[in-house]
Amino acid sequence: MIGERTSEGWQARMRPQGIGRFFPAAFLSFWLCGWAAGESFALWMLFQGARALLTGEPIDHERPLPVLFLLMMGAFLIFWLSLWTVGGITAMGELLRLVWSEDRIVAGPAGITLHTSRGPFRKKVDIPRDEVRAIVPSARGSALAVETPRNTVVLTRNGTQAEREEVAATLRSELGLKDEPPGASTTWTPGMAPMVLTGLPNGWEDAISPEGERILVRSAKSRATGARVVGAIALGMAALAAFVVRKALGSIALIPPAVIVTAFALGLAWLAFWLALARSEWKIGSGRIILRQRFRGTVRDVFEADRLELTFSSDSDGDERFALMALKGANASIGGSAFFTDPKCRRLVDSSLRDAAAPRRLGAWLAQSSGIPFDDRTGAAARQADIAALTAQLNLSGPLGRFAAKLVTRASAKVKKSA
């Protein structure tokens, strides 16, 4: 039995398990060496640019570069360096989780308290009992999480799957969350309470169009932020294009790279212009939703959907991306794919990395507002239904398909047994 009783309440300590974790840890260590080299080079370039800007001395011992070019290059390097730094910090955190970490989960009358340890770094997160909607596994079962009306809080990715399931069952018992009800639908997840709509997730607005129709749009703040980010990237790419074009004037071999970089810069500039002046919106009707593109005073309908589906996919690192899809027609559903879109029958409404709460809440709001069905394909029962449908199709496809169906069935049985 995992866990023990303490003065704080019931608690469990989850640590990384298995020798297999050292293989990704070795890869991350190697990648971080390259990350450090890139970080150092970018900082050195920033230093050289700042020195050239202040002293007027050239960077490459040629004629001094224009001040505007140095400023644009510096802005691009700062933006790139910020993203690169965040990526490195994330990789360091994952490396520490794999080799030197502990997640202490405490359940008491007030809710759940999570004490996270990554090497010498400590963090504490309190989740009030009235905000706990469900204790759920991640879509692939690689983590244990708490769903709240606002977001999904990952409790731990440490331990084995069986240990995480044991901790989940105990947490549900301690917090009084219900077990699976009789005749539960495929969208039900163990411990899940009914969806309570508390408004739209952050970044979305319920508005009225100039034509007097009810629409769902990204908030003005989100659209402005996106336009500024793309504009900053376009500015940096323009600086790079100017530099490459300047060099290409003295070397024919650099003409193709100059053309490519200039094309990228122009494309990003157009995208920033589009984001600043255009928007996508979902018109909410009775039994349907319509995707519209609005550019200044013109608007056109591009897609009509009659139902919604929340699905997911994961990458080689186990990171899960959840996607809310708008579907049209009987053959639009592709269970388990969070990236497949088809302009005729399948469009992306919203997506989120590692957090299903926001797209699920948006889907429930849209379904209630428009009266269309909403199918949550991220629950355990839905995954089993997808596996059953897949094996049935494989069994009908011939000898090779029947052999593949047996492999899928065995793998599914092993997962159930380990849990």
Considering the domain architecture, whether residues 312 and 333 belong to the same structural domain is answered as yes
Strands 204-208, 152-156: parallel, antiparallel or unpaired by DSSP? unpaired
Structure-block tokens of residue 117: 């340890």
Q: Where are the alpha helices (DSSP H) in 125-197?
A: 161-175
Is the per-residue pLDDT at 362 higher than 70? yes
Nearest-angstrom CA–CA distance, 145 and 125: 13
- pLDDT of 336 reads 45
Name, in order, each residue with C-beta under 8 angstroms of 404's C-beta and a sequence gap of 6 or more.
394
* Range from 76-90, 165-179, 315-329 carrying the lowest mean pLDDT: 315-329
Residue 348 included in any domain: yes
* Range from 93-97, 162-166, 410-414 carrying the lowest mean pLDDT: 410-414
From residue 102, give the alpha-carbon distance in Å to each of 137, 159, 161: 18, 10, 16
Considering the domain architecture, whether residues 231 and 203 belong to the same structural domain is answered as yes
Is the per-residue pLDDT at 116 higher than 90? yes
Nearest-angstrom CA–CA distance, 157 and 94: 10
Query: Which of 47, 73, 99 is a domain's end point?
Result: 99
- pLDDT of 28 reads 93
How many domains does the chain fold into?
Answer: 3
Residue 229 included in any domain: yes
- pLDDT of 106 reads 94
- Which is more confidently placed, 86 or 8? 86
From the list 337, 312, 307, 309, the residue with the least C-alpha distance to 322 is: 312
Nearest-angstrom CA–CA distance, 104 and 303: 47
- pLDDT of 3 reads 81
Is the per-residue pLDDT at 382 higher than 70? no
- pLDDT of 189 reads 47
Is the per-residue pLDDT at 216 higher than 80? yes
Q: In this structure, how many other beta carbons lie within 10 angstroms of the beta carbon of residue 333?
A: 17
- pLDDT of 310 reads 87
* Percent of the chain's residues with pLDDT above 70: 81
- Stated pTM of the model: 0.65
Beta bridge partners of 279: 294
Residue 181 included in any domain: no
What distance, in Å, lies between the first and last C-alpha atoms of the chain? 14
Considering the domain architecture, whether residues 74 and 207 belong to the same structural domain is answered as no
Residue 49 included in any domain: yes
Beta bridge partners of 375: 309
Query: Which of 49, 78, 99 is a domain's end point?
Result: 99
Considering the domain architecture, whether residues 210 and 341 belong to the same structural domain is answered as yes
Q: At what angle do helices 220-248 and 67-99 cross, to 10 degrees?
A: 120
Considering the domain architecture, whether residues 390 and 371 belong to the same structural domain is answered as no
Structure-block tokens of residue 84: 């690169």
Average pLDDT score, the chain: 81
On the 0-12 / 13-18 / 19+ scale of CB atoms within 10 A, 221 is exposed
* Range from 4-8, 12-16, 322-326, 382-386 carrying the lowest mean pLDDT: 382-386
How large is the average pLDDT for residues 375-392?
Answer: 69
Model confidence over 18-51: pLDDT tens digits?
888 899 899 999 999 999 999 999 999 888 888 8
How large is the average pLDDT for residues 101-115?
Answer: 92
- Which amino acid type is present at position 2? I
- pLDDT of 161 reads 82
How large is the average pLDDT for residues 148-166?
Answer: 84
Query: Which of 70, 99, 128 is a domain's end point?
Result: 99
Query: Which residues form the domain of 62?
Result: 20-99
Is the per-residue pLDDT at 134 higher than 50? yes
How large is the average pLDDT for residues 254-262?
Answer: 83
> Is the separation of the CB atoms in 339 and 323 below 8 Å?
yes
φ/ψ (deg, to 5) at 159:
75, 175
Residue 7 included in any domain: no
- Using H for helix, E for strand and C for coil, what is the string for 299-334? EEEEEEECEEEEEEEECCCCCEEEEEEEECCCCCCC
Residue 137 included in any domain: no
Considering the domain architecture, whether residues 283 and 406 belong to the same structural domain is answered as no
* Range from 77-86, 194-203, 340-349 carrying the lowest mean pLDDT: 194-203
- pLDDT of 147 reads 79
Considering the domain architecture, whether residues 220 and 309 belong to the same structural domain is answered as yes
Name, in order, each residue with C-beta under 8 angstroms of 110's C-beta and a sequence gap of 6 or more.
126, 128, 129
From residue 76, give the alpha-carbon distance in Å to each of 46, 220, 257, 271: 10, 25, 19, 17
Considering the domain architecture, whether residues 372 and 394 belong to the same structural domain is answered as no
Residue 305 included in any domain: yes
- DSSP structural state of residue 342: B
Considering the domain architecture, whether residues 404 and 361 belong to the same structural domain is answered as no
Helical (H) or strand (E) element with 271: helix 255-277
* Range from 86-95, 149-158, 204-213, 405-414 carrying the lowest mean pLDDT: 405-414
From the list 170, 203, 142, 144, the residue with the least C-alpha distance to 358 is: 203
- pLDDT of 15 reads 92
Model confidence over 169-214: pLDDT tens digits?
899 888 887 654 433 333 444 444 444 455 688 889 999 998 899 9
Residue 386 banded pLDDT, cuts 50, 70, 90? low
Considering the domain architecture, whether residues 205 and 83 belong to the same structural domain is answered as no
Residue 132 included in any domain: no
What is the Cα Rg of the chain in Å? 26
Considering the domain architecture, whether residues 348 and 390 belong to the same structural domain is answered as no
Considering the domain architecture, whether residues 263 and 349 belong to the same structural domain is answered as yes
- pLDDT of 316 reads 53
How large is the average pLDDT for residues 217-229?
Answer: 89
Name, in order, each residue with C-beta under 8 angstroms of 257's C-beta and a sequence gap of 6 or more.
244, 248
Structure-block tokens of residue 347: 């469009």
